[in-house]
Structure 1
Amino acid sequence: MDQEPGHSFNRRVRLLVEVPNQPDETALVEELLTAQGWSVREATVEERTSIAFPRTGRVVEVRLRGARRGARRAAVRRVESLASRAKVPLWVRQSVLLEYPRERRTLYRARLRPPDQGTFAARRLLRLVRQIDGSHDQRALSLAGAPDRARALNELGASRLGGRPFDPEREELTGPPDLPGDAVPPDPWLDPETPGGLWSLALTVVGVLLSMLVCLAVGGLIQALDTPWRWLGLGPVAGAASAAGALVGAAPPLRPRPLVLLGSAAGCAVLVFCGYQLLAVTEGTGGSIALRAVVMPLFVLLALAVGYGVHWALVPSWFSRHASWLVPALLAPLLLLLPWFGRLLYTVYLTIGFGIPVESVPLTTYSMMYAALKPMAVAAGFALFFVGVAGWARHLYWGRIPGESSPTFLLPLSALQYIVTALLLGVLSAGYAWGDAVGAVREGRTPPGYYGLRGTLMCVELKDPDIPVYNAPLVTDRPVVTFGASGERVWLWAPSQRGSGSDQGRAMSVRLEDVTLTRPAVAKDRDCRDGG
């Protein structure tokens, strides 16, 4: 797959390839490799010492995006696959993953000195304004090596970058303190290349994840328990927010900034709300609170893994490069698709299930959109799951497909899978809702609602025995269910006496002015003749 010039990459693999020492063959190999966006040059004398005549060497730099693990093998496989498909004489002799060691650097910032004139309130206000408008962050210096304040001051004093020299009377230098003469510099904080940095990174990741799980669990606890003592769970939430802010905000022994702590508190509040809502959503699935409390964090971790996979699948890709116009183009049809799909679900529930026309029931556009949102959201979740798996496969170089992006035919397949899943989930959920409603009506209970549509049990009393009835005779000895009237007629549904097979009941229609509808008695299973 051809790549655009300057495509995004985070791995570089340099390969020494053998080609026949013939002008035509070397030109063909260079043209073929360059067309893939890879840089090609002639190998130096030191690099091609192991290659003897009649062959010569070329150095190819393959640029990939993905994990470190498997990057070298993936680059070799792509070059060899390309040579095999094009039937060109090319062999990979050596390969090496290019990774330069991280250089330890010390950052110093120059900021304005605190004012020493005016009242205390005026000085505090001026410092606050400087923090807000950026006056404190106009000059910085990054030095290689351990902290050295004297060297930083000398370099800033001699520099004329920007036409404004460093003024020690107006500005001060902030940064880490100098180390004692015999002290060994500590490992950089959160640097995976050093033992101490890797340990601090692992502790930070584990601490942040535990803080997130604590916030989610407390949110579920607040939703599940019905006691004032449940609010004591906000104490661990405050501790989790402080711990996450301290781990992410600054390296010890420095204290985290107040804005970092405020952001951590806001994130924990969002997680508490998410835990509250997730446990409320899973309440209808059954199971104990403990089981749901264990499954919910695992579900959140799975969602995070899928989110990372979706990011790796779409960034960078054709989709991310054209997202500015593609996303609005995909979202615009939803305004028309949601009402249509919602009307289809109401048709399955009312017309196919109860035999009542959709047009005869008062429905709003928002109700139809609401009915369509859940199956479409679940179908989107399934589609994103497979996209996430593809993203992990792309990040870890799984498969033998050349190129960095997924094949083009996967896009229509994903769209087809999304459409089929949404239709299947919507129709099945409508069928299950109809079954629950029929069972409730047979037991003399009010049927559960279906996305804003609520049936009501009514007793029918005829004003005239000779009134016209669609699908007569009209059932008057037991309660019937109605979903409201739209116009001059009302549709009623009565369960059959046996209720076996497909004969669950029948729908009837009469004019509103010919009947009187009243609620049945409160007692269960009382018929309309006895209940009055």
Structure 2
Amino acid sequence: MTAELPFNRRVHVVVEVLDLHEELGLLQQVCDAMGWPVRKLLAGETTVTTDAGWTARVIEVRIRGVRETAVEQAVATLDALAQNVELSLHCRDATLVERVHRPQIEWHLRGRRRPVSRRLSHALHLAARTGAHDPHAGTTRLVRIPTRLDEPRARRLARTRRAARAVLSHHPLISRRLDPDVHEVGRPSVSRGWHALAFLTLVVTATAICLLGAGLWPAIGADSPRVGGPLVVVVGGYLLGGTLLAVQRTPTHRALPWLIPLTVPLAIPLVPWLGALVQRAYLSPFGVRPAPGRDGLGDVQAGLWVLCVFVATALLPIAYLGWMRFLAPSLRVRGPWLSWAPAVTLGIGMGMAFGLLVLHTAARSGAENRALAVAGGDIPEYFGVSAEYACVEPTSPKAPYYGSPPPRDRPVVIFGQSGDRVEFWDPTARRKTSIRLEDARITIVPHFDSPCTKSAQ
């Protein structure tokens, strides 16, 4: 398989081609360019016969596709290539090459467990590359014994263990032969402690992201640097470390040096837009819209809130996959379509769901502050959205307005003006009103319980 033409399906195609030196040479050139092996027929391989002047060849067409349509895709690809180069070639028979799976049981030859001091010394020597480490530490050999699935598991394990011990007793190197005093034979070791730690960190990270999306970090004290700082380090280290482990030795890893600088300029206009969505969701219970042209630090903070939650949630399955691949190298042979694509799809779906959770949290905060205003309390600032209390007096009894009539005896809540109009919300009537600035006199008062006297009007 070449780097330019990766494949995951192989199809053996029996073709007939004109028995001329030029045609056979062109066929060889086409197959070499595609990385496809071509050979003559073996004795008794097929019953396909050719007419005089024609000869048969077997081509292994290697393509990337799904199993159900791999044969049709291979034949169509070969026909298209033959037509493009005017090659006298016809497909006669095509068969999908199936991978033969043979059940096997794996046994490992490992050194017997040493004391903790010996293992620490081995780790130090191994890190310093002094060559004085324990040569029997860890797995030194592994053998796989073919087995059948129709026999009981206990009998299957006992039979393959005896066969494995017989195989492990022979090796050109004496240190790799089975020595009962030094070695032990066992199944593949699973670092359950590290796996449990990775899963526990996954739960902690997912919980932290969920609390961040729901706006509950202050409830657990994470707004304090003593609690929030270590939590951010743990969550960030888990996500970044696992993601790098997942994408290493992949085309994505090679694209990261230019992909990351490309995403930064795209995020600059995205952050204020996301912040505007948060402010709009917050103001939705009041029935008003955020005032345009008020982009500031609050918009940036709200946008970063949504962006951080989305990115962290999207990277969560990928990071877990990376840690599992690092702790269990055997997962690498299962192929990307069984692990990589579902992780990315799940991550994007979870990121969008948690992004909606942030908007729901903003709307819930707006509803809580709306109830606070009804009860007569002052509304706190929310990501740059500041509520002001004002007394509104129409300039004339016939001044046009949209909604309920403006109250004259009590203040209303305004969140800034929209062009030549101002929208305000009456906590007592629980209704929204919009009026033109030229049709009303607006006086800002410090609190909701401030009186609207004639002098203030």
**What TM-score, normalized by structure 1, do the two folds share?**
0.46
Q: Equivalent residue for 2:48?
A: 50
| Per-residue CA distance 1:357-395 (angstroms, 9 max, x = gap) | 427xx6346336337749998xx99xxxxxxxxxxxx98
Is contact 1:13-1:98 (8 Å) kept?
A: yes
CA drift at 1:142 = 1.0
Alpha-carbon distance between aligned partners in 2 of 1:322 and 1:92, rounded to the nearest angstrom = 39
Q: What pairs with 1:218-233 in structure 2 (closer than 5 Å)?
A: none
Distance 2:60 2:110 in 1: 43
Letter of the 2:25 partner, please give it: A
Please say if residues 109 and 178 of structure 2, whose CA atoms lie closer than 8 Å, have aligned partners that are also in contact. no
Match of 1:91 in 2: 90
Answer yes or no: is the 8 Å Cα contact 1:456–1:483 preserved in 2: yes
Say if 2:444 is the partner of 1:519. Answer: no
Q: What number of residue pairs does the alignment pair up?
A: 334
Residue by residue, what CA displacement relative to the aligned partner does 1:439-463 show, whole Å, maximum 9, x if unpaired? x79x97999999713341413599x
1:93-242 maps to which residues of 2 (within 5 A)? 93-114=92-113, 123=115, 126=118, 136-146=137-147, 147=159, 152-153=164-165, 155-161=167-173, 164-166=175-177, 168=179, 170-175=181-186
**Aligned mate of 2:390, from 442, 448, 459:** 459
* Aligned equivalents of 1:375, 1:507: Cα separation in 2: 39
Measure, in 2, the Cα distance between the counterparts of 1:278 and 1:74: 48
Q: Deviations over 1:287-333 (max 9, x none)?
A: xxxxxxxxxxxxxxxxxxxxxxxxxxx9999x647423343233232
1:15 corresponds to 2:13: yes
String of CA shifts for 1:233-256, please: whole Å, max 9, x gaps: xxxxxxxxxxxxxxxx99xxxxx7
Structure 2 counterparts to residues 377-456 of structure 1, below 5 A: 452-456=383-387
SS for the counterpart of 1:35 is helix
- Structure 2 regions of 5+ residues with no counterpart? 127-133, 148-158, 216-246, 316-335, 339-351, 394-405, 427-432
Distance 1:50 1:279, change over 3 A: same
Q: Which amino acid aligns with 1:259?
A: G
Amino acid at match of 1:79: L
- Give a deviation string over 1:15-34, Cα, whole Å, max 9, x none: 11122222333333333333
Distance in 2 separating the partners of 1:496 and 1:506: 15
- Measured in 1, the distance between the counterparts of 2:422 and 2:68 equals 64
Report % sequence identity. 22
SS at match of 2:179: coil
Deviation for aligned residue 1:60: 1.4
One-letter identity of the residue aligned with 2:449: A
Q: Distance in 2 between matches of 1:13 and 1:316?
A: 28
- Secondary structure of the 2:384 match is coil
Q: Do 2:389 and 2:413's aligned partners in 1 also have CA atoms closer than 8 Å?
A: yes
Deviations along 1:94-143, whole A, 9 cap, x unmatched? Answer: 2222234233434332223356xxxxxxx455468779979532411314
Secondary structure of the structure 1 residue equivalent to 2:297: coil
Q: CA deviation at 1:47?
A: 4.1
Residue 422 of structure 2 aligns with which residue? 493
Contact 1:110 1:173 in 2 (8 A): yes
The residue matched to 1:57 in structure 2 has which SS? strand
**Residue type matched to 2:186 in 1?**
G
The corresponding residue for 1:504 is 434
The one-letter code matched in structure 1 to 2:92 is: R
Cα distance in structure 2, aligned partners of 1:492 and 1:358? 15
Secondary structure (helix, strand or coil) at the match of 1:358 reads: coil
1:5, CA displacement in angstroms? Answer: 4.2
Question: Do the aligned residues in 2 keep the contact of 1:457 with 1:479 (CA within 8 Å)?
Answer: no
Q: Distance in 2 between matches of 1:521 and 1:45?
A: 101
* TM-score using structure 2 length: 0.52
Write the mapping of 1:169-318 to structure 2, written as runs, cut at 5 A: 170-175=181-186, 258-259=192-193, 262-263=196-197, 266=200, 269=203, 273=207
Q: Decide whether the 8 Å contact of 1:17 with 1:94 is kept in 2.
A: yes
**Counterpart for residue 23 of structure 2:** 25
Q: Distance in 2 between matches of 1:30 and 1:347?
A: 66
The answer as to whether partners of 2:421 and 2:437 remain within 8 angstroms in 1 is yes
| Aligned twin of 2:322 | none
Deviation at 1:171, TM superposition (A): 1.7
In 2, are the aligned partners of 1:110 and 1:171 still within 8 Å (CA)? no
CA distance in 2, matches of 1:460, 1:370: 35
Aligned to 2:35, the other structure's residue is in SS state coil
Q: Secondary structure at the match of 1:95?
A: strand
Q: For residues 106 and 204 of structure 2, what CA distance do their matches in structure 1 show?
A: 33
Task: Identify if the C-alpha distance between structure 1 residues 518 and 131 changes in structure 2 by more than 3 Å, giving closer, same or farther.
Answer: same
8 Å CA contact 2:379, 2:387 repeated in 1: no
Q: What is the CA–CA distance in structure 2 between the aligned matches of 1:521 and 1:355, rounded to whole Å?
A: 25
Shift of 1:93: 1.3
The answer for unaligned runs of 5 or more in structure 1 is 116-122, 177-248, 251-255, 282-313, 382-393, 397-421, 463-473, 486-490, 498-502, 509-513
Distance 1:263 1:6, change over 3 A: farther
Amino acid at match of 1:139: T
CA 15–87 in structure 1, closer or farther in 2 if over 3 Å, else same: same
Q: Which amino acid aligns with 2:411?
A: P
Q: Are the equivalent residues in 2 in contact too, given 1:371–1:451 (CA < 8 A)?
A: no
Q: 1:346 to 1:71 in 2, by over 3 A?
A: closer
Is the Cα contact below 8 Å between 1:16 and 1:59 reproduced in 2? yes
Residue in structure 2 matched with residue 327 of structure 1 by the alignment: 259
Provide the rounded CA distance (Å) in 1 between the counterparts of 2:448 and 2:29: 85
Over residues 217-273 of structure 1, what are the superposed CA-to-partner deviations in whole Å (9 max), with x where a residue is unaligned?
xxxxxxxxxxxxxxxxxxxxxxxxxxxxxxxx99xxxxx764276258527835983
SS in 1 for 2:262: helix
Distance 2:30 2:10 in 1: 19
Q: Determine if the alignment matches structure 1 residue 70 to structure 2 residue 2.
A: no
2:154 corresponds in structure 1 to none
> 8 Å contact 2:378–2:448 — kept in the other structure?
no
The corresponding residue for 1:528 is 452
